[in-house]
Structure 1
């Protein structure tokens, strides 16, 4: 490898640091090439891996693979990552020869992303390692070709299992999310009521479904009129899982108010609203997940609350815990596969601590 970083598609070693590199990364020297070594693959393992994911996960995991490529190309030196990113170009993870990785290389990657110097949150490190495991699993299922044209597996089952036998990532961070108390929620609805129609009714309904049903932003954007029956929302959410969430009375009122403005025509429940001189006009184009995030952000800004769309979901789940609901029932309402995920949304300890601290400060004053 030359001193200058090479783009992935022109680097014959697949971004492997040179043997003149520090001893800590000498393990990057690729395995000895023999007659059975794969030298070519007509498909990208990363593409095969990412196409099997949901649209939201495809973007997240694709970016994770790209970041791993940058770390590899910079030979683990954080200061060189900006240069490596420029040289690699867009989406390097799609062109990287992931099947060349073996246990020494994956241990090196693990050490890099879990190091204190890099400062990644444990969940971020877990996410990147999950992306790495996923693309290596795809390598173990795909075929490549040797120098003389024979067909061989990209990675043997043994190589896959040893390469992904890394230590579990330990540690945790406080959730960066926000629990919206009663006063904050009231401020958001006041901000809604100050908007012009039909934004006023539409955005209040979005808030009501987020706070009263705990739907993800993509699930809110994807709601159809047919999903609302008998005062309940029945829809297919993340991981192609169908679930039913009842609308509480206060949330149902907000939704019904919006539907009177929207009309009862079939199709998407939430439309885009276009500003034209003198008025706002509904368009038949449905909202996107990003548009839902924008709505929530703008309402938060107007109410003086710095929040994201996911904070609505977090508030709903925490509110369920505050009502002493069975955690397994909350898991079903939230659509989580693992109850541990649901428990991470429980912000009661922080909310109680913040309230106690506020009460103590009030008494001191």
Structure 2
């Protein structure tokens, strides 16, 4: 979810064919059956290769206990809560927080808003701007334009 800025339903609807290691992209069927592409991290690709070898998914990228059965939203939420607990996170976590973090971290790394809009599958740029807030720590690192002027 975090690595590609996916919605919960988009993750659950991925198929093995949606992963393209040649273009390092993930094909996503978003809201309204709109197709878009997002980033495929080399780290995630390596994890997916291990996953494929162990679980051999048939229809869905992430399947339930029965082969060919789609992984459930409730199981995904349970896995996320367990991961948060293991990480020592005390507050409630939601799947959508990972999507929000993906967008925020891209912005903080200098990715332009229109690219983030495209990666998230938003029709309207206003929807993208709602996600994006710049952290105080990031603001503190931004040089003041006055300090960058050459006074010589």
Q: Answer 1 or 2: higher relative contact order, Cα 8 Å, separation at least 6.
A: 2
TM-score by length of 1: 0.35
- Structure 1 contact 223–270 (Cα < 8 Å) conserved: yes
| Residue 249 to residue 220, structure 1, CA distance change in 2 (3 Å) | same
1:34-58 alpha-carbon deviations (Å, 9 max, x no partner): xxxxxxxxxxxxxxxxxxxxxxxxx
Corresponding residue number in structure 2 for 1:232: 25
2: CA distance, partners of 1:343 / 1:350: 17
Count of matched residue positions in the alignment of Structure 1 and Structure 2: 136
Corresponding residue number in structure 2 for 1:297: 81
5+ residue gaps in structure 1? 1-209, 274-282, 354-365
Aligned with 2:106 (options 307, 314, 320): 320
- Structure 2 contact 108–138 (Cα < 8 Å) conserved: no
Q: How does 1:216-365 map to 2 (within 5 A)?
A: 216-229=7-20, 230=22, 231-263=24-56, 266-273=58-65, 283-284=66-67, 285-305=69-89, 306=91, 307-350=93-136, 352=138
2: CA distance, partners of 1:334 / 1:350: 24
Is residue 211 from structure 1 mapped to residue 34 from structure 2 by the alignment? no
| Residue 223 to residue 347, structure 1, CA distance change in 2 (3 Å) | same
Cα RMSD, aligned residues only? 2.1
Q: How does 1:123-272 map to 2 (within 5 A)?
A: 210-229=1-20, 230=22, 231-263=24-56, 266-272=58-64
Corresponding residue number in structure 1 for 2:149: none
| Residue 233 to residue 303, structure 1, CA distance change in 2 (3 Å) | same
| Residue 343 to residue 350, structure 1, CA distance change in 2 (3 Å) | farther
User: How many Å apart are 1:302 and its aligned residue?
Assistant: 2.1
The higher radius of gyration belongs to: 1
User: How many Å apart are 1:309 and its aligned residue?
Assistant: 0.8
User: How many Å apart are 1:291 and its aligned residue?
Assistant: 2.3
1:237-272 alpha-carbon deviations (Å, 9 max, x no partner): 112210011201112112222111122x53101122
Corresponding residue number in structure 1 for 2:143: none
- Structure 1 contact 220–289 (Cα < 8 Å) conserved: no
The SS at the match of 1:271 is coil
TM-score by length of 2: 0.79
